[in-house]
Amino acid sequence: MDWGMKNRISKLINPKTGHAVWLAIDHGYFLGPVKRLEKPGEIAGPLLPYVEAMMLTRGVLRNCIDANTPVPVILRVSGGNSIVGEDLSKETIVVSMEEAIRLNVSAVAFSIYVGGRYEHQTLVGLSNLVNEAQRYGMPVLAVTAVGKELGKRDARYLSLACRIAAELGAQMVKTYYCQDFGKVVEYSPIPLVVAGGPKLKTELDALKLAHDALQEGAVGVDMGRNIWQSDNSLAMIQAIRHIVHDNASVAEAEELFNSLKR
């Protein structure tokens, strides 16, 4: 791996622990104004000291995030779809590599919809992005999107999607936690991070998800709603960090969460 690529990845995956906490605030690219993310800069600002990186779109980066931030950026470069559009999988590259470099980002992110109506378009899009990114030492994060079909989140489907992302050249893959997640990890030759998905009933559920994913081999989390939709988002991000970087148990993370909440 080239020096530039390695160096960028070292900003995203903490070399001391081999793990990563990323804050995902890119949801608006197809969902518009999501609850609690109406003002992304205000919600993300206090959380940023606790993350290795933030994942977002160029519009939110330019308009809502202070350029003096030391926190690396994972830039979402796929889009062109919306929650009310024809089909969520109709997504393609919408940001150039030149723009990603101008914004000084540490990685670019692209969604693939394996089994979706526009599967081919997204897989070729990922391959084209990798071809271009490789020239500049820019890591590519593939996101195994499931669209509205959350039921697709089983180990068989996710290992298929993650493996295809790796085979097409992505350096990292973001996927969902599922039963038998260890199998998804086993068949992926690249590091995996998990999304949190829609807000779970309790913070404890989200802590458990992060803990189990890490125990089964994820290198970290790229979480959004289960952090910033919590009434105690600051306590939540620190509890998640405790799990990811300190190998804390669910009980230890919960204890930290409760003490910070107070």
Catalytic residue set: 174
Q: Nearer Cβ to ligand 5RP, position 91 or 216?
A: 91
Instruction: Give the CA angle between residues 189, 190, 192 to the nearest 5°.
Output: 120
Q: Cβ(186)–Cβ(214) under 8 Å? A: no
Name the residue nearer to ligand 5RP (CB basis): 51 or 55: 55
Segment 96 to 115, residues that bind ligand 5RP, using CB under 6 A? 111
> Hey, which bits of 36-81 come out as E strands?
53-56, 73-76, 78-79
Residue number with CB closer to ligand 5RP (29 or 262): 29
Determine if 225 is a binding residue for ligand 5RP (CB under 6 A). yes
Q: Yes or no: say if 226 and 255 are a contact pair by the CB < 8 Å rule.
A: no
Interface map 230-259 toward ligand 5RP (x if CB under 6 A): ------------------------------
Answer for which of 65, 145, 166, 213 binds ligand 5RP (CB under 6 A) is 145
Reference 172, options 106, 100, 247; nearest CA is 106
Bridge partners for 21 per DSSP: 221
Interacting residues with ligand 5RP between 172 and 201 (CB under 6 A): 195-197
Q: How far apart are CA 59 and CA 95, in angstroms?
A: 11
Rounded to whole angstroms, the Cα distance separating 38 from 40 reads: 6
The least distance separating ligand 5RP from the CB of residue 25, rounded to whole angstroms, comes to 8
Q: Can you tell me which of 77, 126, 224, 240 binds ligand 5RP, judged by CB under 6 A?
A: 224
Residues interacting with ligand 5RP, by CB under 6 A? 24, 26-27, 55, 111, 143, 145, 195-197, 222-226
